[in-house]
Amino acid sequence: MQGVGIADESLTAILTTTDDVFVLIDEIAVAAGQQDIAAAEISTHSEKVASLANQNSYRAGQVAEIAGHLHRLTYSTE
């Protein structure tokens, strides 16, 4: 009968460990999903930053053109 008790304890330990593994797998799946969401947000924000940088570059070019035009106007009136 002692063998049956040991087998029962072993099976109980296996079931407990299996349940623990399933919990860990669920946690990993949730974390992976959160990382996917974070990566998508980072990508979106990176695209926005790139777009704003492009707009800023365009505006800087316009400012340079205006400054050049004002410079030419200043020297043409002298």
**Residue appearing with tokens 């050049």:** 68
CA gyration radius for the chain? 33
Q: Give the tens place of pLDDT for each residue, 7-63.
A: 999 999 999 999 999 999 999 999 999 999 999 999 999 999 999 999 999 999 999
What local confidence, expressed as pLDDT, does residue 26 receive? 98
What local confidence, expressed as pLDDT, does residue 78 receive? 59
Helices marked H in the chain — which ranges? 2-76
**Amino acid, res. 49:** V
Q: pTM of the prediction?
A: 0.59
